[in-house]
Amino acid sequence: MMRRLFVIALALVLLTIGQATAAPTLYDANFTASNASSTTISTSLASVLSGHAIAVFVANFTPGTTATVSDGTNTYTQLDVASTPYQTTTFVAKNVAAGSYTVTATFSAADIARTIIAIEVAGADTVNPVGSAHKLGSQANPGTGTDAVTSGTVTVQTDSLVIGIVWHDTVAATWNLGTGFTQLFINEPSQNCCGFAAERKTHSGATGSDAATFTDSTDGMNEYRTAIIAFIPAATGGLFRNQGDLSGLGTGGKFRKGLDCRLERGRDYEYGDGVGVPLP
């Protein structure tokens, strides 16, 4: 009897883990680039859904110019900022409210070359959508014949959605994406400054190092700025219905009184009267 109960409990735990690791997905994205001097730049996201996350990449020509981001409703937290040789900043808003938004970056001083990219993601964790899996980088003249550009590695959780961005100081690059990546944007003006590309993929392997990579076959660029942001799957737990009294299994998980209960991944719980109490 005990063995049968253990098998049932183990199957339920495996079911919970399977339900909790669906990869986040790209829902919407938009960008604006400008060479006209201003202290702001905006882009729009229409019909944003409640609970989604929004990542924002902002770049401008003048180092030391700080930026903030707002859409009038949600709170954007700065992830990374880099100032050499150009200014780049990334932000994220978690568990956003539903609505249509104009996402605006405001700079501490007017700048002529400005870019904003906004990316809406479904299925990311609503408490901590990116964790520590984000980074900005810089590369100067990284190759001859073909410029190989990388964001540098970060530790990425399995089933995360990885976003990679490269921004550069001239025009007319010819981009090839990294292995396994799908194009999100390529915007290369024929004159003035500045061009960029963005890509995405699901990190489907085990938790470990990953990077956003690009190659530019024109080899005509001087400076590249890169970003990587990885969205973590939502830890939703699973539903256990009327499984009866399995308290004899010990602290590997106690289920009492046949009640419906939800488990959070990675925690042992004891349930009674419909209330989940984490075990020590």
Which residues 6+ apart lie within 8 Å of 271 measured at CB? Answer: 254, 255, 256, 257, 259, 261, 277
pLDDT in tens, 221-257: 568 889 999 999 987 544 333 333 333 333 344 333 3
The helix or strand, by DSSP H or E, that contains position 9, with its residue range, turns out to be helix 2-19
Average pLDDT over residues 246-272: 40
Confidence of residue 19 (pLDDT cuts 50, 70, 90): very low
Q: What pLDDT is stored for residue 46 in this prediction? A: 96
Q: Is-contact 121 55, C-beta < 8 A? A: yes
Torsion angle in degrees (nearest 10) through CA of 138, 141, 142, 144: 170
pLDDT, residue 189, reads 79
The burial of 78, by beta-carbon neighbours within 10 Å (0-12 exposed, 13-18 middle, 19 or more buried), is given as middle
Return the DSSP state at 233: B
Per residue in 35-79, pLDDT tens? 889 999 999 999 999 999 999 999 998 888 899 999 999 999 999
pLDDT given for residue 264 in this prediction? 44
What is the pLDDT at residue 276? Answer: 44
- pLDDT, mean over the chain: 79
Question: For 15-22, what is the mean pLDDT?
Answer: 53
Does residue 26 have a pLDDT over 70?
yes
Closest CA to 227 of 96, 82, 125, 129: 82
Structure tokens at 175: 């981009």
Instruction: Name the amino acid, one letter, at 49.
Output: L
The partner residues of 1 in beta bridges, in order of sequence, read: none
Cα 254–Cα 260–Cα 264 angle in degrees, nearest 5 = 60
Q: What is the largest CA-CA distance in the chain?
A: 76
C-alpha dihedral over 212, 230, 45, 39, to 10 degrees? -70
pTM: 0.77
